[in-house]
Amino acid sequence: MRRERLDSSSLRSVGYDPSARVLEVEFRNGGVYQYLDVKDDEYEEFQDADSKGAYLNAEIKPSHRFRRLKKPN
């Protein structure tokens, strides 16, 4: 999945596949995770959030299953 770089203290890059409803997040520590069943409007809210890391922790992580693609360094 293609990811775009972010200006964030905890997140390095993010990508979204709307057809699969998968949000892929690369953290600054090197870990890469995919969050499953993320709806388009949730992704838009994530993109609009002042703090993407805070939104991810408050809204995405608690309510979505995930896959770890790469362990943190």
The per-residue pLDDT for range 19-50, each reduced to its tens digit, is 999 999 999 999 999 999 999 999 999 999 99
pLDDT for 73 = 86
65-to-21, 48, 54, 68 alpha-carbon distances in Å: 12, 22, 18, 10
pLDDT digits (tens, 9 = 90+) for 50-61: 999 999 999 999
What's the rounded Cα separation, in Å, for the pair 50 and 72? 25
Print the domain residue range for 46: 4-70
Secondary structure E strands in 1-73? 4-5, 11-17, 22-27, 32-36, 66-70
**pTM, entire model:** 0.95
**65 pLDDT more than 90:** yes
- In the chain, the number of structural domains is 1
The mean per-residue pLDDT over the stretch 12-21 comes to: 98
